[in-house]
Structure 1
């Protein structure tokens, strides 16, 4: 009888441990999983307000698998709240925002595999592979276009500067010619007056 009693206790304890370990695997490894890096400061206080202002929750209830906020503020990293959003960092690629219902749904949505942390399926990190492809596309298609636009703009600026410089030089030339012509005219007038003065003296 004692043996069966201890066996029952052992089976209950082992069941609890198995259930506890399986439920723990359903929770994020980091409490900030699914949170945008710029919003992590919002969740660092001991008591956190729901973003809709309805109530508050303690930090240990962040991503604990139970929905405390109607708007899903407390569960960005689990599928507990239908209204919550999961942020994929996707380092090396484009960040992404998912509905929390797609967390641990056995489909790889984030290229870094962060949305499937319960390890039921294997989601390899393909961000850098895809990132290289994006970078290659960006280098081959977008950058030459930008370079050509910049080159055209630079050549346009240079031609405009050349025109301005030429106008300045032309202005200097014109002013110089005007001054020279004025000097010549003044000299001719002075010379004519001198001649007319001499003629009057001789008369």
Structure 2
């Protein structure tokens, strides 16, 4: 039976934004998640003379456990899995036992069954204290605050998306510009290569001419040095003969 308790809690996590927290039937069942309404519909087996009962475990493949329908939310655990007390704390010791807050005007939520009827207003509509009363309904104020926060969050998200789009557009423009510049450079490449080759040829010619000029200057200096050496040699001989 504990399987249904876990199932009911997991299914109740899918909290809808709208809906009643009561099952409209012969009785109003407090604390039931609208997603689970079907599980709280009464059954009337023919063998019981048309009396209405609650199926503690509607998913059971065999041995269905029935309790009188009027025993729901009577502050006593009749079902072995605690499913008959969705609106009280009587079965709060079962794993996953939770109470559904409708919270009209704000956001529906779940509170632990142990918080029901404890004198603390956990639901903004005060429905968790339906047995004691005394809770003010502040769902309108809470809902307004939540909506403002969501609007602010949405505005930030939209601003971020706009900035991202602007950056993407700017990036696309720069990319297109770079592609155009690249194509322009590619078009100029043959001309630049030709100019580079011509410059290399001209440089080679200039280096060759410079080499020839230096060789000529060196040869000229070598000849002048030889003449000076001969002159000096003759002068030395003349001076020697005088002695």
Q: Into which bin does the TM-score normalised by the smaller protein fall? A: 0.5 to 0.7
Residue aligning to 2:85: 75
From 30, 37, 42, the equivalent of 1:40 is 37
For residues 146-171 of structure 1, the C-alpha deviation after alignment (integer angstroms, 9 at most, x for no partner) is 12211122213323554566688789
From 92, 112, 120, the equivalent of 2:125 is 112
Residue aligning to 1:149: 160
Q: 1:55 Cα deviation (Å)? A: 5.6
Q: What are the residue-to-residue correspondences of 1:73-152 with 2, within 5 Å?
A: 73-82=83-92, 83=94, 84-118=97-131, 120-140=132-152, 142-152=153-163
For residues 127-163 of structure 1, the C-alpha deviation after alignment (integer angstroms, 9 at most, x for no partner) is 11111122223334x2332122111222133235545
Alignment gaps of 5+ in structure 1: 1-28, 182-203
CA RMSD of aligned residues (A): 3.6
- Specify the structure having the higher radius of gyration (Cα): 2
Residue aligning to 2:65: 56
SS across alignment from 2:129 = coil
Query: How many pairs were matched up?
Result: 150
Distance 1:74 1:91 in 2: 24
SS across alignment from 1:124 = coil
8 A Cα contact 2:67 2:79, kept in partner:
no
Distance 1:91 1:158 in 2: 44
The alpha-carbon distance between structure 1 residues 171 and 50, as it changes in their structure 2 partners (threshold 3 A), is: same
Alignment gaps of 5+ in structure 2: 1-26, 44-54, 191-243
The alpha-carbon distance between structure 1 residues 57 and 146, as it changes in their structure 2 partners (threshold 3 A), is: same
SS across alignment from 1:115 = helix
